[in-house]
Each structure stands twice: as C-alpha cells, then as structure tokens.
Amino acid sequence: MMQKTLKIVEHAKIYWAISIIVILLGAVFLVVNGGFAEDIDFAGGMSMTVDMGEQAATVDLDEIAKTVKEVAPDAGEPIVQRADRNQIIIQTKNVENDVRDQIQDKIVEKYSLDAAAILSVDNVSATVGGELKAQAVKATAIAAVLMLLYITIRFEFKTGVSAIVAILHDCAIMLSVCAIFRLPLNTNLIAAILTIIGYSINNTIVVFDRIRENYRKSKKAPFSETVNYSVKQTLGRSVSTTITTLLPVVMLFVLGVTSIRQFTILLIVGLLAGTYSSILLAAPVWAGLKVMQDNWKKKRRAK
C-alpha cells in the first residue's frame, strides 16, 4: 500500500498551463519585435581579430565592447572574446568600410598598438548563418530521435514520447526567454540547448526508472498513484542535483564577461526548465498515454 503523496498527475494541467503562458508570452514578444535578435553567427556581420600583445591577459573585454559600441552605435551589441594567448576577436553586425576603419583606429589608439596588430577583418555571410541554423536544427532533431530510440528500448514507446515532449518543452522555454529578453541567437544557444537536452533526459530517466521499479512491485495500484509516489521519492535527488549544477553556472554569470553571461543565462533557464519538466510534466504525460492505451484496450475487448 503506497503512502499518501503529492498529486502530480492530478495537477498536471496547472503545470502545463504555466509553461504554455511562458511560451505564448515569448510568441507575443517575437511578433512585436519582428523576430529573434540574431548574432553574427546567424545573421552575418564583421569579425575582427586583434593581437593585444602582453596586455591580452589583463585587458577588460567589456571595456573593448563599450569602445566599439561608442564608435559604431548602429552595429548592435559587440561580442568580444579571447581567441588565443594574445588575440581577441571582435564581432559586430555589418558596418560600412569607413566605420570599420574607425573601429580599428580607435582600438589601436586606445591600447597603444601597432597597425599590424589588426590581424584580420572578415565579413561573415548571412548565407553561412542560414546553414548554421539548419545544422543546429538537424543536430537537435537527430539527438531527439536517438533518445527516443534509446528510451523506447530501455522502457517503452510511451516513455520515449513523454521524454521527447519534455525536451521540446525545455527548448521552447529557452527560445521564449530569448524572445522576451532579446537574447541574441548564436552558437551559444546551440551549445546550451544540446547541453540541456542531455541534462533533462538524464533527470527524466531517473524518474522513469523509479516509476517502473515501483510499478513492478504494485501492479494493482493505479498507475497515477505509482507515478505520484515515484516522483516524490526522486524529488529530493532532482532538486539537489539542480542546485549543485546551478551554483558554478551562477558564479560564471556573476564573474564572467558578457559573452559568457549570455551562455550562462541560457544554461540557468534550461536547467530550471529541465528540472521542471522532468518532475512535473514528463511523468504525467506517460501516465496520460498509459490511461489512453488502457481505455483503448478496454473498448477493443468490449467489442
């Protein structure tokens, strides 16, 4: 006899309603803003490589970005990253040749560099960005299909579908946050999504494994009751794992430069969404699919 426990399955509509509100809010902002904000990786733009010499280790990347923005305010939010021991890469939206020259002159003057310190200035085509987006979608789809096959083999097809629904939810939440807060779409988003897919599926499998174990012990109990009890058993583990994972990510957000902060924001959102879906959404979806299957079998027997 199972103990009285949380009513996760019974309140699933409430949990889904919360997620749908966030996703719809993201869709509204997407329409109002005329689409996502795209970084140079996707939309194309200028990429400048600069040899900073001995000061490369101590130079403030945010200060460089601020300097570039002062020279080219219409070039979007500059991205400055360390590329090598002494090199940095400055990325902006497409700018006119004279503006590009002004950026070079300003960097050379401010940091007392030689003209030869500007190692390269390249333009990234929007076509390349389109190919990158297509590859990102393809990578996510392949990962989802392989996970569906793995979970189907390990558990059953219904659990595979439930896990994929949870993954799609996590991706939708991350994209909604990007739309709401105008976070730029770039390779950081691809890396964050693929990372969260792996994290979320791991959490979900832990819950599913406990459900299967408890269901074998008490097959006469309602499946929804088994799901509720199993989620309660794994709740502490899921929450503690998420908190432990969040701590270093939050520290990176607090101490990191702008480019790292954008990545960590996506990771934080994804971690929270992944934990939410693995605890409150994936298992109820499995329970709902099982009830539908059982009802279909009863109707078939009755005929």
Which residue ranges make up each domain of the chain?
12-36+128-295, 45-124
Q: What are phi and psi of 94, to 5 degrees?
A: -60, 135
Instruction: Give the model's confidence band at 133: pLDDT under 50 very low, under 70 low, under 90 confident, else very high.
Output: confident
**CATH class of the structural domain 12-36+128-295:** mainly alpha
Locate 49 and state its tokens: 């490589």
Instruction: Give the model's confidence band at 299: pLDDT under 50 very low, under 70 low, under 90 confident, else very high.
Output: confident
Nearest to 288 by CA among 145, 167, 153, 161: 161
Instruction: Give the model's confidence band at 1: pLDDT under 50 very low, under 70 low, under 90 confident, else very high.
Output: very low
Q: What's the distance, Cα to Cα, between the start and end of the chain in Å?
A: 34
Nearest to 41 by CA among 122, 124, 120: 124
Average pLDDT in the 151-174 region? 90
Q: What percent of the chain has pLDDT over 90?
A: 36
Nearest to 152 by CA among 27, 248, 286: 286
Instruction: Give the model's confidence band at 258: pLDDT under 50 very low, under 70 low, under 90 confident, else very high.
Output: low
Cβ count within 10 A of residue 61: 19
CATH fold of 45-124? Alpha-Beta Plaits (3.30.70)
Cβ count within 10 A of residue 4: 9
Give the Cα separation of 223 and 236 in Å (integer): 21
Q: What is the pTM of this model?
A: 0.79
Comparing 27-31, 96-100, 211-215, which segment has the lowest mean pLDDT?
96-100
Most confident among 4-13, 76-85, 246-255, 268-277 (mean pLDDT) = 268-277
Cβ count within 10 A of residue 112: 9
| DSSP characters over 49-111 | EEE-GGGGGT--HHHHHHHHHHH-TTS-S-EEEE-SSSEEEEEES---HHHHHHHHHHHHHHT
| Per-residue pLDDT at 245 exceeds 90 | yes
Locate 86 and state its tokens: 């002494």
Q: What is the mean pLDDT of the chain?
A: 86
Give the Cα separation of 195 and 119 in Å (integer): 33
Instruction: Give the model's confidence band at 177: pLDDT under 50 very low, under 70 low, under 90 confident, else very high.
Output: very high
The predicted-structure confidence for 277-291, as pLDDT tens digits, reads as follows 999 999 999 999 888
Average pLDDT in the 194-216 region? 91
Comparing 120-129, 156-165, 200-209, 219-228, which segment has the lowest mean pLDDT?
120-129
Give the Cα separation of 52 and 81 in Å (integer): 12
Instruction: Note the pLDDT of residue 242.
Output: 93
**Same fold for the domain at 12-36+128-295 and the one at 45-124?**
no
| Per-residue pLDDT at 142 exceeds 60 | yes
Comparing 9-18, 262-271, 286-295, which segment has the lowest mean pLDDT?
286-295
| Per-residue pLDDT at 156 exceeds 80 | yes
Instruction: Give the model's confidence band at 234: pLDDT under 50 very low, under 70 low, under 90 confident, else very high.
Output: very high
